[in-house]
Structure 1
């Protein structure tokens, strides 16, 4: 389901909007994750001077569950840097992914982030965007769609909430690492238009509404494919292997790779 609302962002001259997705901080272990976290923070420092908004398209953490008074420990570097950007007046738009399905209001309270659970329409200057994490969209992916219905069921969430955080967070991390249906990204190369569900979803949505750009994460590949004469599907890639991001300067959207 796509939100009926259309958000509007005016981009001042010389400013840009940046997009990043699928950092999966915490995976595969704390030591290796911190190396990637520091690289991401360095990128955030570099975009800060000209960023007018930052879009995080989901799976910032490899596992995330919020109790009323408890969140997973760690990630202080990246959360602190995001708070710095928010305090500098750079709005943050966060799309919940399949690894942070149980996010509540922590980032809203701490970063004043805009939190979305479903695809959103944006008008940026005169360009129409459809933006989402991408999990469960399009045909296929039935194994994940079945599990998502279970994990988002209020009864299942309540039962998980009743577990002690030490056990529940350990269990969640283990399942996140081992279950391919949770990751949804087991293929490391483009599988062809007939097997790429997000590409098919982008095609179908473009035919309905004529978006200029349809931008998703989830797939862990940096992709740019035409889905209409004036419409392009972009996948942002990830910060595990590819270190890619999206950049919109008010006129054109482009994919880039961050190299230190």
Structure 2
């Protein structure tokens, strides 16, 4: 008897923690319900960044909360399902907590994969392509080891509150100055994909960050797909071994 086909799932931009604890927990429970459904046929799960609206790893402390989603991810990983995490601009300061506690590899840059003969370039998407210049300058500062060292000296009760405030009030820091659809020719990540195709062919470019589910043809037999978010769209992508499609979780 043939085994049912396995799927690879991709989701991003849950931003748990905003706008407040109560509504965030409702979204967290919805995401956990989705994880419970996809675990039945998941070959792998890719989380493409900004799982939390803010995450900073002190040497002995991580942000309070998120026990439901962390517990569910741990359960799926312990069951043998590979899970991969790409940091976003809101969890930029993730270090090794996921790797040590959950057994989940963490990546800070886009990475190439091949599934069933199809080539993928996968990442969060912040700071890629033309534009977004203000955020790119900010990212260099925040990602610098010296910046992280200084921030660790700030007490977590102050540091977490400060970062949460800035992530919601300062769109330059968050890398989300404008989340309106810019048109297929003007979307930064679509332009980035087209430039990458000049060097090498990819069947799919798969990113988050824009908070807008979209699918754009960027070349011959090549697509850029954005996974949207779990704030207002509740969208994800799934690869069934032949095609990569966007879906909405109801």
Aligned pair partner of 1:126 in 117, 130, 155? 117
Which secondary structure does the structure 2 equivalent of 1:211 belong to? coil
Q: Which runs of 5+ in 1 are unaligned?
A: 1-11
Q: Which residue matches 2:57? A: 66
Q: SS of 1:49's equivalent?
A: coil
Unaligned runs of 5+ in 2: none
Counterpart Cα distance in 2 of 1:252 and 1:226: 14
Q: Which residue of 2 aligns with 1:148?
A: 139
Q: Is the 8 A contact 2:184 2:216 kept in 1?
A: no
Counting matched residue pairs gives 248
Equivalent in the alignment of 2:246: 255
Say whether 1:202 aligns with 2:193: yes
Distance 1:230 1:128 in 2: 11
CA shift in 2, pair 1:188/1:149, >3 Å: closer
Q: Does 1:52 align with 2:43?
A: yes
Partner-residue secondary structure (3-state), 1:233: strand
Among candidates 82, 96, 102, match of residue 91 of structure 1: 82
Q: Quote how far apart the aligned CAs of 1:186 are.
A: 3.9
Q: CA deviation at 1:195?
A: 3.0
Q: Which residue of 2 aligns with 1:4?
A: none
Find runs of 4+ consecutive structure 1 residues off by over 6 angstroms. Answer: none
TM-score by length of 2: 0.97
SS at match of 1:60: coil
Deviation at 1:194, TM superposition (A): 4.2
Inter-partner Cα distance in structure 1 for 2:178 and 2:213: 13
The two structures, once aligned, show a CA RMSD in angstroms of 1.1
Deviations 1:149-190 (A, max 9, x none): 110111111110111111001111111111101322343431
Q: Does 1:161 align with 2:141?
A: no
TM-score normalised by the chain length of structure 1: 0.93
| Whole-angstrom distance in 1 between the partners of 2:140 and 2:122 | 22
Contact 1:184 1:219 in 2 (8 A): no
- Equivalent position of 1:38 in the other structure: 29
| TM-superposition CA deviations, 1:174-223 (whole Å, max 9, x none) | 11111101322343431123432111001111222110000000000000
* Aligned equivalents of 2:176, 2:155: Cα separation in 1: 29
Distance in structure 2 (CA, Å) of the matches to 1:74 and 1:148: 26
Partner residue of 1:170? 161
C-alpha contact 2:87 2:94 (8 A) present in aligned 1: yes
